[in-house]
């Protein structure tokens, strides 16, 4: 099935820039990711999304699922469940674009987290 591939523009702007400081993703007291190399993706009227390098996430907490979604501007997203110590699972709380479209190529090998399911702390330098 061919997908409709769109390029960001004035009607649907997308920017990807380095995050202003340290980004820490937690579930309760458990740190899922901690990085100073996150990227902030701003897309149209949506809230900014922090994309954390996969290398800066605790991969022992992540389990790939069969879920996928498609964005005509970014490509196909794959999902992960966060498996907490003690057995709690946050199903499909994390997504990644493994082969993002060229306009957003920088977010490849990065993870994004649903803000309502995890705590995302952005510490901008003073």
- Per the domain annotation, does 3 fall within a domain? no
- Per the domain annotation, does 114 fall within a domain? yes
CATH number at residue 62: 2.170.150.40
- Per the domain annotation, does 29 fall within a domain? yes
- Per the domain annotation, does 2 fall within a domain? no
State the pTM of this model.
0.92
pLDDT at 2: 58
Domain that holds residue 32: 14-123
pLDDT at 51: 98
- Per the domain annotation, does 54 fall within a domain? yes
**What is the rounded distance in angstroms from the CA atom of residue 8 to the CA atom of residue 22?**
27
Total domain count, the chain? 1
Per-residue pLDDT of the chain (126 residues), as tens digits, is 556 788 898 899 999 999 989 999 999 999 999 999 999 999 999 999 999 999 999 999 999 999 999 999 999 999 999 999 999 999 999 999 999 999 999 999 999 999 999 999 999 776
3-state helix, strand, coil in the chain (%, to 5): 10, 55, 35
pLDDT at 9: 86
- Per the domain annotation, does 30 fall within a domain? yes
């Amino acid at each position: 099935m061919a997908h409709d591939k769109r390029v960001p523009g004035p009607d649907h702007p997308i920017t990807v820039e380095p995050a202003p400081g340290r980004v820490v993703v937690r579930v309760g007291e458990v740190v899922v990711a901690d990085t100073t190399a996150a990227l902030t993706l701003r897309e149209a009227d949506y809230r900014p999304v922090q994309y954390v390098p996969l290398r800066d996430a605790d991969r022992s907490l992540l389990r790939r699922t069969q879920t996928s979604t498609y964005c005509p501007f970014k490509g196909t997203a794959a999902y992960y469940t966060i498996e907490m110590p003690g057995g709690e699972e946050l199903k499909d709380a994390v997504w990644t674009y493994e082969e993002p479209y060229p306009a957003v190529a920088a977010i490849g090998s990065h993870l994004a987290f649903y803000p309502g399911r995890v705590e995302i702390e952005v510490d901008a330098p003073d």
